[in-house]
Structure 1
Amino acid sequence: MTNLTVHAPAPVDFEVDLASLRGDCARMAPHWAAPDRIASAPVSPSLIHGVTVPSSSARLLDAMSDYGD
């Protein structure tokens, strides 16, 4: 049996890490191109079929308040 030693992680300085992350993102941004926005057409409800929702799930969702109201 292997005896694994676990060490606590070093304390994290969030300000330095956030600045480092932002710098990394800024350096990577030119390498990534955003795709052109494609407007999708609405789908007719008559074309949507084959989706079934169990009644217990429907009741659960119906009992939930919308957006935390």
Structure 2
Amino acid sequence: MTNFEVPGTAPLGPAGDLDGDLAALRGDCARMAGNWAAPAEVSALPVSPSLIHGVTVDPASARMLDGMSEYGD
């Protein structure tokens, strides 16, 4: 559902509370939407399997992923 009615300012809770409600988030997003244009549709060309050689991950990222729990734990 799209709501194009945007209030003037996003309501904030008590004195600078940045954890607003869903309505505030939707209002913020609606105000920011005009700042970014949607890219033209990009169609990816198929890649030959012989050109795919695997994935390289830097050690810091590998350690971070290793420390994460598996899905469904």
TM-score by length of 1: 0.46
- Identify which of structures 1 and 2 has the higher relative contact order when contacts are C-alpha pairs closer than 8 Å and 6+ apart: 2
**Structure with more helix by fraction:** 1
- Tell me which structure has the larger Cα radius of gyration: 1
Q: TM-score, normalised by structure 2?
A: 0.44
